[in-house]
Structure 1
Amino acid sequence: MEHLEAVEGNLIVLQQAAELLRRMDDRTYATTAGGEGQSPVGVHFRHILDHYSAFLRGLPEGAIDYDARERHGPLETDRGLALATVLGFITDIGGIPGELAARPLSVSLRSVADRGHAPDWSQSSLKRELQFLVSHTVHHYALIKHILTPAGFETGEGFGIAPSTLAARGNSIECAR
């Protein structure tokens, strides 16, 4: 199936999250890079997980609205809840039925902040949305790494580095199944 590589990419980044969340303590989860307006690690994880939740919630009907995220506050401060959510998403993403790969998806992601603008829906596919989730997640992992590295916390090999960059370097992160 053409979407399987994209599923594997998501399983890899979600497993990276699970491994990182298991190794950090609650204080580290609340760490910021310092400075006004800087988001703690937990806020980045909540944001990532809200996108996965929107994806999985909209997938059965074929209409994914990334703007209708729950913005689940407890995920920002409860590392255990974040880990449990990640583990659930690993199961959910790994169990996406192959027959969904051929079905078109409609996706909404607001392009303008003005509330007067109608939702901006476009056509997409399962594979493309899985690719988006990997890219979005890796971007936030890079921000998390930027927060944790100066605090002396090692995020792990390949964390926050795009798959294309890892491939160009001759590195890879394998999916543990």
Structure 2
Amino acid sequence: MSKSSNWESTIKPIVVLSVISLIVSLLLALVNSMTAPVIAENTKRTTLAAYVGVLPSVSDASELEEVTDYTTAGVTGVVKAPDGSMAIKAEESGFDGGIVTVIVGLDANGTETGIWVDASTQTKGIGSAVAEDDFLKQFDGLDCTQSVVMGQNGVDGKSGATFSSKALFAALNDIVNCYNELA
């Protein structure tokens, strides 16, 4: 085997693939650096709108005060309104590791005033159904000072969406635990 054929058959393809991989990686990093701030801003805007949506006493996100002195696992955000009500955001893994995000508004006594769920990472029409208004109505006025157990006190999981339902109830209990920690 000559030196020339070794270069053509072995080394050259490795070098070419390495250069292509490097260029593609740099392009992906560039696209990510441009889109990451936009995605973060959209997520923040959606979260603030959901906070306002679950707190009937609040008409604008500027009225909310961020709370940071909590340690409850699964909770990713807490805001407090001037009247003592608060909204708590929790995230848990559902089907195939997709995140189910739950935001619950609570009055000063720990009673649910609104619930917002994003289950868009779950199977469409099955797991995503845990975010439907008809399903979420069962949580209206729920006492969020005590654990929420699937199948008890008139609240149940979504039929056929076991993983998504478990994620929803886990997030609800993260919210209950955080409320009790802060109350």
TM-score bracket, normalised by the shorter chain, equals under 0.3
Q: TM-score, normalised by structure 2?
A: 0.26
Higher share in strand: 2
Q: TM-score, normalised by structure 1?
A: 0.27
